[in-house]
């Protein structure tokens, strides 16, 4: 018993230390966003500012149009998440419940695309969108990311875990495949759908490389791209840079802490059956 308690205590201690090291950079970012220029560069470092300088946030907003960047990020995140949920539900149900010739082969090929690095697809995708005239538009930021192989795989695993007797009973009552999908399967898959939506929101909100490539004007920048440009515009004003970074990061941190139990529950449930 003593060895077991010591082992658990060691594990908890290591996890606590790991959590502290993970949180420290975020605390330093928020603290620095409220400091004066002298305190930001002070040595030894000052963790708690002597006076809270909330003006850093208004000054950051004055230098760069972060309100416009925020609106762009919200539009791109919401629409791409809705699009991914729709395509994922339809594709996952087809691969899990509809039998057609070559289904497993098609799904294996689809999974194989996950091994292709996303960087390899940047140039072909950019050329395609350029030929369509979509560069520097919401279409370029949203449409290429309305489908996800990982999301399809995740939801397919969940659909496999739903008893087939539900489908048989629905068909006896005259329920069509589409009606069974939207009124039975989708409500049952709510934990998995919440997980997929949250992961998509976080990834879309933090996306940097693709928005950087397909946007040319300041009006179409998202928050990560705007923050990158602000790094050079702000120069050595680190307190303003930290204020801008806080505005970008905090919404996703708050969302994650509120919804983390749904992420864990959704991932756990999708792995029960394959």
Three-class secondary structure assignment of 35-78: CCHHHHCCCCCCCCCCCCCCHHHHHHHHHCCHHHHHHHHHHHHH
- Per the structure, the complete domain to which residue 119 belongs is given by 60-270
Joined tokens for residue 35 = 């400091």
Rounded Cα distance between 1 and 96, Å, is 47
**Global pTM value:** 0.80
CATH code of the domain containing 244: 1.10.3720.10
Q: How many CB atoms lie within 10 A of CB 217?
A: 8
Q: Is 198 part of any domain?
A: yes
pLDDT value, residue 273: 44
Q: Is 170 part of any domain?
A: yes
Q: Is 11 part of any domain?
A: no
pLDDT in tens, 175-211: 777 888 888 888 888 888 888 888 898 889 888 888 9
pLDDT value, residue 80: 93
Q: Which are the contacts of 54, defined by CB distance < 8 A and separation ≥ 6?
A: 34
Q: Is 200 part of any domain?
A: yes
Q: Is 66 part of any domain?
A: yes
Q: Is 83 part of any domain?
A: yes
Q: Which are the contacts of 227, defined by CB distance < 8 A and separation ≥ 6?
A: 69, 244, 245, 248
Q: Is 54 part of any domain?
A: no
Q: Is the pLDDT of residue 274 over 50?
A: no
pLDDT value, residue 133: 87
pLDDT value, residue 232: 56
Supply the mean pLDDT for the chain. 82
pLDDT value, residue 115: 85
Rounded Cα distance between 124 and 209, Å, is 15
Q: Is 6 part of any domain?
A: no
pLDDT value, residue 2: 63
pLDDT value, residue 83: 93
pLDDT higher for 1 or 20?
20
pLDDT in tens, 34-66: 887 777 777 777 777 777 778 888 888 788 788
Q: Is the pLDDT of residue 85 over 70?
A: yes
Average pLDDT over residues 136-143: 90
Work out how many domains the chain is built from and give that number. 1
Q: Is 245 exposed, middle or buried (0-12, 13-18, 19+ CB in 10 A)?
A: buried
């Amino acid at each position: 018993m003593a060895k077991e308690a010591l082992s658990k205590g060691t594990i908890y201690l290591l996890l606590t230390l790991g959590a502290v090291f993970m949180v420290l950079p975020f605390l330093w970012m928020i603290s620095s966003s409220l400091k004066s220029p002298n305190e930001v560069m002070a040595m030894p470092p000052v963790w708690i500012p002597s006076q809270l300088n909330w003006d850093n946030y208004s000054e950051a907003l004055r230098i760069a149009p972060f309100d416009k960047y925020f609106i762009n990020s919200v539009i791109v995140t919401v629409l791409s998440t809705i699009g991914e949920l729709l395509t994922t539900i339809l594709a996952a149900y087809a691969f899990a419940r509809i039998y057609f010739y070559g289904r497993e082969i098609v799904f294996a090929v689809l999974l194989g695309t996950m091994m292709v690095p996303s960087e390899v697809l940047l140039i072909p995708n950019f050329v395609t969108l350029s030929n369509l005239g979509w560069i520097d538009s919401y279409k370029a930021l949203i449409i290429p990311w309305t489908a996800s192989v990982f999301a399809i795989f995740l939801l397919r695993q969940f659909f496999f875990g739903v008893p087939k007797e539900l489908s048989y009973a629905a068909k006896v009552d005259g329920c069509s495949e589409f009606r069974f999908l939207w009124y039975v399967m989708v409500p049952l898959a709510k934990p998995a759908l919440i997980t997929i939506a949250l992961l998509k929101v976080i990834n879309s909100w933090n996306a940097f490389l693709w928005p950087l490539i397909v946007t040319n004007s300041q009006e179409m920048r998202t928050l990560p791209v705007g923050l990158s440009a602000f790094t050079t515009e702000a120069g050595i004003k680190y307190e303003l840079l930290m204020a801008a970074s806080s505005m970008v990061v905090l919404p996703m941190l708050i969302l994650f802490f509120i919804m983390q139990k749904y992420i864990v529950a959704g991932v756990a449930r999708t792995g029960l059956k394959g």
